[in-house]
Structure 1
């Protein structure tokens, strides 16, 4: 993989079988790179669920989502283009463009898909097409012309240099192709970070105009290589299992007095304390009440009347809804911490998604409790305290406690489905969707709705990330 990377950057990649065995010792030897085209295949009009993963900036705040196609792996260029059409159609049906007001989208497409006319209508500067080579389809002057046309329309591009050998990228077009890229992709899935470390500082220098996107960051060491190596300022975007996995925050240097205050107010609320007692607690930290009212009065909630006080909130919303909104304040104690904001965003998505999974015949209280389950599902990570200890004093409904503490009970499938959607686990998504009597297409739509809703709440509450820098 390392040889691929540097030879790809210099246009000299032409590996022998022996070199491939040395560079990629773990790669299977019996699986062909491509599958023969056996003729027409019956394809559905859209994909059931499009895998998408959060992409973070240097502060570990979510600024984009990466949309990938797993069903088309190993296909010929013609077959892959059919899947690309389905991907674009599915993203339009999911109304992806709503998300682009708050996040950027990195969409993986094959070179052949550049001819799709719909690409000319993409919103400017918000979509980054990651160009994947497929089969024997090479980069041609016509491909470069199409890239120029799309760039003139505001589309940006990314490419993984290691994937393009001399067969796919003629040396004469090498520099012209890479100069058109806005982002270069470095994939940590294959190379050893120990081997990569001495060379990492050379990568950004090759094409100084481009920023770098580190994919499949699988460990703290991988991340450190990008953030600490010479030329590290060129690394702008990060994705991978290490970043996607919820990790307990370091609270040793954190003044979490605000979190303690919120937990105390939530305990009082569950104990049926009156409005005067609750307001007295907010007066000890008036910023908390300001944040709470900003969350509640967000336009996405569509309240007919603005909530101006704790008493208003109790009268207009009820205790369960007020408790729901209070839970969000636990994540805002470190407003400038990208990791805390990423946890808040993920919790909001889980909460809204689970709430919407509530069946039409369910009581509103069930939906509120589903929301709480999703909202609290990362609270142990945020506070660095095991679930039984952190939620024990809150007197939560038994259905919420069982789902959080033991992953069992009536809310466990909804929580499991939310987590499967985060990871793009297609088989598990299909299994859980059937269990909940939901079509996979509906699950994909609900999840994307939840993602957009979370961005709207964060933006209206002025708790949002700097996506303009992407």
Structure 2
């Protein structure tokens, strides 16, 4: 059953565990094909990405009214095998990873191989055949805790049981399923009962819902709100810092001399400081730090300098200029750009890979500037193919951008179609997504 799943990532150079026999899958559930391993960011109260939820495409039967037990078991089985194969050491070194599972995970042969550090098993449903009651849940959670796992538990499973609450490191509330009055009632009950337990608001789909959950003192936030788009304002004025960054980018694009580039950067000393932080980051592995801007420009060259100067557009000089979602949008934009660049690989020339990175990064510039994409792009001097991809979703770069967005949405049908257009399969898509996610860890804070 898991032959297709185990091919999702390159196998380790060790013998793989053999899956225990599982009940037959529903005929409507095809688990023999590799699935997409989706990651969704989880933000803290400072709007910084501190964790990720990893899921696979849920094998929901086509005509089922609810997610049935066999399908949930297959989902958890697939997720654990995918996770074990994914080699996420770099990600786990810095961030939490939430894995939604049921108690059936206890019998899964991949469980002993799961890392303990920063892995949170999110108990999201009862396993009916294991006994859908508090005592079965208590016994299962106790076993998982004894194995060294951190646990999150869906609030409805706690059912007011102090023993279950004591075993939970996090309490998860599916905010997307609750009407605002019900969400308020649940939050008040949990806050009074579990005062020191972090509350995780899951499936927060809109920025307005996020703001409401934040006011309700949730600790972590997960959902589609991260990619939310606000209505642009007609009278938006771009802050001077970002104007200086755009002028620097345009000078780099026309291959201006190093002296002119340095002059453009010094128009705002914060630009200089942040550029030096980038070039001295561990990613460049310098033997000795670079202190001089002209030396940094010479070291990077025009192409790399342009690449990293775009990062500065997603940061603000003054707190009053900073959008609450700035950190999350910056990371999402960089992951998009890096994913597109990695996926293209050796199939395209270096210059085209660099343009793909720029397309991915600038695809969120309308959010940062709070204006329409056509108006935002008026500030830039860009190659025509970059502009076509951003404005009209056309040209050679467009399928890569569409694929990156489909990955964020978890639209597996579109992912498979677009991956084929780009000349890849889901194995490559998963690999590039994970590599992009781990790559960003070295750069996410450099523009602050």
Same fold (TM over 0.5): yes
Distance (Å, rounded) in 2 between the aligned partners of 1:100 and 1:444: 17
Moved more, 278-287 or 444-453: 278-287
CA distance in 2, matches of 1:97, 1:335: 35
Partners of 1:335 and 1:251 in 2: how far apart? 22
Q: Which residue of 2 aligns with 1:144?
A: 138
Residues in 1 aligned to 2:165 and 2:237: alpha-carbon distance in whole angstroms? 44
Q: Which has the higher contact order (CA 8 A, sep 6+)?
A: 1
CA root-mean-square deviation? 3.3
Q: Match for 1:205 among 192, 202, 212?
A: 192
Could you list the runs of 5+ residues in structure 1 that have no partner in the other structure?
Answer: 1-34, 464-470
Return the offset for 1:184.
1.6
Unaligned runs of 5+ in 2: 1-22, 61-65
Alpha-carbon distance between aligned partners in 2 of 1:437 and 1:134, rounded to the nearest angstrom: 40
The match for 2:5 is none
* Contact map agreement 1:259 1:333 (CA 8 A) in 2: yes
Work out whether residues 53 and 424 of structure 1, in 8 Å CA contact, stay in contact via their aligned partners in 2.
no
Q: CA offsets per residue over residues 353-408 of structure 1, 9 Å max, x none?
A: 01112241411100110111011111111012332333234321111100111111
The alpha-carbon distance between structure 1 residues 223 and 286, as it changes in their structure 2 partners (threshold 3 A), is closer
- 2:254 maps to 1:261: no
Question: 2:70 & 2:182 partners in 1: Cα distance?
Answer: 37
1:183 aligns with 2:170: yes
- CA 201–40 in structure 1, closer or farther in 2 if over 3 Å, else same: closer
Q: Provide the C-alpha distance between the structure 2 equivalents of 1:447 and 1:37, rounded to a whole number of angstroms.
A: 28
The residue that corresponds to 2:126 in the other structure is 133
Deviation sequence 1:71-109 (CA, Å, 0-9, x none):
344676566444423311212222123211222111011
d(CA) in 2 for partners of 1:140, 1:39: 32
Shift of 1:118: 4.3
**Aligned partners of 1:396 and 1:101: how far apart in 2?**
37
Residue 160 (structure 1) aligns with? 154
User: How many Å apart are 1:248 and its aligned residue?
Assistant: 6.6
When residues 295 and 432 of structure 1 are mapped into structure 2, their CA distance, relative to the original with a 3 A threshold, is: same
Conserved 8 A contact 1:249-1:382: no
Aligned residue runs from structure 1 range 308-347, under 5 A: 309-333=292-316, 339-347=325-333
1:65 to 52, 55, 77: 52
- Which 10-residue stretch deviates more, 440-449 or 240-249? 240-249
Contact 1:340 1:382 in 2 (8 A): yes
Deviation of 1:157 (Å)? 1.1
Mapped partners of 1:81, 1:97: distance in 2: 26
Instruction: Give the Å deviation of 1:251.
Output: 12
Specify whether residues 41 and 217 from structure 1 end up closer, same or farther in structure 2 by C-alpha distance, changes over 3 A only: closer
Select which of 263, 276, 283 maps to 1:300. Answer: 283
The equivalent residue for 1:384 is 370
Alignment partners' CA distance in 2, 1:416 and 1:315: 35
| Distance in 1 (alpha carbons) for counterparts of 2:89 and 2:229 | 27
Match in the other structure for 2:103: 111
**Distance across 1 between alignment mates of 2:194 and 2:250:** 56
1:339 Cα shift?
1.5
1:234-268 alpha-carbon deviations (Å, 9 max, x no partner) = x2111122333244799999992221111111122
Residue 189 of structure 1: SS of its match in structure 2?
Answer: helix
Q: Secondary structure at the match of 1:300?
A: helix
2:414 alignment counterpart = 428
The aligned counterpart of 2:38 is: 51
Change (3 A) 1:80 1:201: closer
> Matched residue pairs, number?
416
Q: Aligned partners of 2:299 and 2:215: how far apart in 1?
A: 51
Shift of 1:58: 1.4
